[in-house]
Amino acid sequence: MTVVSKTNTTEKVSSNELGGETITTTTTLAYSQINKVLISKVERLSALKNDDKSSTTSCADHKDGSLPNFESHELIGTPSGNDDCEHLVLVDTVRKPGMDPVSRAFYAAGPRRCLHFQRTTVNAAIVTCGGLCPGMNNVIRTLVHTLYNLYSVQQVWGVTGGWNGFHLNNPDFEPVLLTNELVHDIHHQGGSFLSTSRGGLDIDKTVEFLQSKNICQLYIIGGDGTHRAAYKVHEACMARKLNVAVAGIPKTIDNDIAFTDRTFGFQSAVEAAQEAIRTGFVEAKCTLPNGIAVIKLMGRSAGFLAAYAALGSGVVDAVLVPEVPIVLDGPNGLLPFIHARVRKKKYAVVVVAEGAGEELLGETAEKEAGSGNKKLPAIAEWIRDRILEYFTSQGDQARMKFIDPSYLVRSVPANASDSLYCSELAENAVHGAMSGFTGFSVGLVNNKVVYIPIPQLVESSPRHMNPYSTFWKRVLAMTGQPNTLPPQDTMDNGATHGSLRASTQLYTDPGMNAAS
């Protein structure tokens, strides 16, 4: 399948436009071809005969009980009787010279003609894991409403406290029988109605819980680490030949889940982060002499939150992110730049992502309790102290304001955009599980909700912001800060600098910014 090969365009300009001279220009654009599309297949449960009279068709398409493997691919156009092959979403719809001629496609999400489960006998379970994120309650609420109102399932259980909630006979983690009435207005609240925790996965206890409650659909809300754990549960269920569909709904305010345009909660977090930046701006501008505000934002491995919030606020003088090396001194140094900016306009605002600056402070082998994540050095506090020291060395005084809104940013309710997005993801997760898909997650790819095999999703997660993108250039244009990136052709030759992510495989820009 060839989308574009070579385009020859001839432009003729009239003599009137060029003072009596006619010029003919021929331009050749050598765009890469797509000659093969790999379809990312999602695993299915062994098909059972569907006796639910309310379904529109039988499961004849899947009565052989086959289990397509997520790693298997097929060329586009391969004959197939499955309705899920009717709509495909290409990942790299924007083609550039030199791109791989092999593209990837995901199955479009949505209801299927064939239901794997007899709806009225379904018992489902929902669990939230990892850190909080705006929109978690929206997802819980929509899952419950979709299961009861669209599919008339028997019961929906809420597992409390993350993976720890699967440990039976623990009074601190009693499961909750969810109803439409119980979750009616939880979307107006931040946090998780079911509570959450980090770590605690025990495969045997989780499977024992599923069997004790006769659970056949498990919906897991969490980030890339949670999805890795979810796939282990999926593999355990498959190994035990349990008829359990495992579906993930990815969440993180860092927006670092691969393939997806954005994760739910990100836009709400950006909105909340802007409030912190505005607070820092007011404090710095109204404090004399030389008011400076340093705002620390989340962003363990990606600078999306810091960059978007800063760009949206329009009042930030420097943004420090994990993907771009920090230079303190010299012509491109942060410290002389901030000093000069304060001397010019009497104040400055600096936004620092928590994962920035590892090339300065070094990586640590120490792990955080519970999550197992690498413990990050206190870069924002370190930058704050270096700025104060520099001003003192220059014979100037600085009035520093330090703001860390981390928990405020992630505990707010979802805004209108995220609320709608959460509902769309949750509904499609239910459609996928009811049709027998398992070991998958849902996400927005090129503005279309698709089913992503969990192994593919976590393989490239966490993703990183492309520091050579037009989006980061917009940030530099707004702040006026020095560009500390090495030339891109240097990076293409394999050179690295500190924490700079040189692998273009990890560089992705969310569709919402159209940055490439």
Strand ranges across the sheet with 347-353: 318-320, 347-353, 291-297, 399-403
3-state secondary structure of 8: strand
> Is the previous residue joined to 405 through a cis bond, with omega within 30 degrees of 0?
no
Q: CATH assignment of 119-263+413-459? A: 3.40.50.450
Helices (H), 111-155: 136-145
* Amino acid 162: pLDDT: 94
Under 8 Å between Cβ of 159 and 194: yes
Q: What is the DSSP string of 147-189?
A: IIIIT--SEEEEEPSGGGGGSTT-GGG--EEE-TTTTTTGGGS
For residues 183-196, give the mean pLDDT.
Answer: 95
Percent of the chain past pLDDT 70, that is, above it, reads: 78
pLDDT in tens, 497-507: 444 443 333 44
* Amino acid 199: pLDDT: 83
> Is the previous residue joined to 462 through a cis bond, with omega within 30 degrees of 0?
yes
pLDDT in tens, 255-276: 999 899 999 999 999 999 999 9
Q: Would you say the CATH fold of 266-412+465-506 matches that of 119-263+413-459? A: yes
Given a cut of 60, whether residue 17 has pLDDT beyond it is no
Residue owning tokens 């997760």: 429
Q: Identify which of 432, 318, 435 has the alpha carbon closest to the alpha carbon of residue 386.
A: 318
* Amino acid 32: pLDDT: 57
Q: What is the DSSP string of 345-392?
A: HSEEEEEEETTTTHHHH-----B-TTT-PBPPP-HHHHHHHHHHHHHH
Residue owning tokens 């009980």: 65
Q: Where are the domains of the chain?
A: 119-263+413-459, 266-412+465-506
Residue 305, H or E segment? helix 304-313
To the nearest 10 degrees (0 to 180), the angle between helices 334-345 and 379-393 is 60
Given a cut of 90, whether residue 100 has pLDDT beyond it is no
Under 8 Å between Cβ of 383 and 352: yes
Q: Identify which of 338, 371, 373, 340 has the alpha carbon closest to the alpha carbon of residue 354.
A: 373
- Using a 10 angstrom Cβ sphere, with 0-12 exposed, 13-18 middle and 19 or more buried, the burial of residue 237 is buried
Rg for the chain, CA atoms, rounded: 26
- Using a 10 angstrom Cβ sphere, with 0-12 exposed, 13-18 middle and 19 or more buried, the burial of residue 489 is exposed
Given a cut of 60, whether residue 514 has pLDDT beyond it is no
For residues 293-301, give the mean pLDDT.
Answer: 94
DSSP state for residue 131 in the 8-state scheme: S
Under 8 Å between Cβ of 61 and 48: no
Cα pseudo-dihedral 86, 448, 435, 60, rounded to 10: 0
pLDDT in tens, 374-404: 678 899 999 999 999 999 999 999 999 999 9
* Amino acid 10: pLDDT: 38
State how beta strands 102-108 and 448-453 pair. antiparallel
Q: Identify which of 318, 322, 315 has the alpha carbon closest to the alpha carbon of residue 333.
A: 318
Total Cβ atoms within 10 A of residue 341: 20
**Alpha-carbon span 155 to 175, nearest angstrom:** 12
First to last CA, the chain: 24
**Alpha-carbon span 264 to 131, nearest angstrom:** 13
Under 8 Å between Cβ of 96 and 31: yes
Under 8 Å between Cβ of 282 and 269: no
DSSP state for residue 507 in the 8-state scheme: B
**Alpha-carbon span 298 to 290, nearest angstrom:** 26
pLDDT in tens, 321-375: 999 999 999 999 999 999 999 999 999 999 999 999 888 887 666 666 555 566 7
Give pTM, 2 decimals: 0.82
**Alpha-carbon span 88 to 105, nearest angstrom:** 6
**Alpha-carbon span 62 to 252, nearest angstrom:** 35
* Candidates 3.40.50.460, 3.30.479.30, 3.40.50.410, 3.30.465.10; CATH matching 266-412+465-506: 3.40.50.460
**Range with the poorest average pLDDT among 301-315, 342-356, 477-491:** 477-491
One-letter identity of residue 37: V
**Range with the poorest average pLDDT among 19-33, 64-78, 109-123, 131-145:** 64-78
Total Cβ atoms within 10 A of residue 102: 12
Given a cut of 80, whether residue 277 has pLDDT beyond it is yes
* Amino acid 497: pLDDT: 44
**Alpha-carbon span 217 to 205, nearest angstrom:** 16
Average pLDDT value over all residues in the chain: 82
Q: What is the DSSP string of 25-61?
A: EEEEEEPPP--EEEEEPPPBPPP-----TTSSS-SGG
Catalytic residue, chosen from 51, 61, 92, 254, is 254
3-state secondary structure of 218: strand
To the nearest 10 degrees (0 to 180), the angle between helices 136-145 and 416-434 is 40
Length of the chain: 516
Kindly state the tokens that stand for 118: 């007899």
Given a cut of 80, whether residue 1 has pLDDT beyond it is no
Kindly state the tokens that stand for 75: 């060329």
Under 8 Å between Cβ of 304 and 310: no
Percent of the chain past pLDDT 90, that is, above it, reads: 64
**Alpha-carbon span 120 to 152, nearest angstrom:** 6
Task: Tell me, yes or no, if 254 is annotated catalytic.
Answer: yes
CA angle 359, 361, 362 (to 5 degrees): 65
Total Cβ atoms within 10 A of residue 484: 18
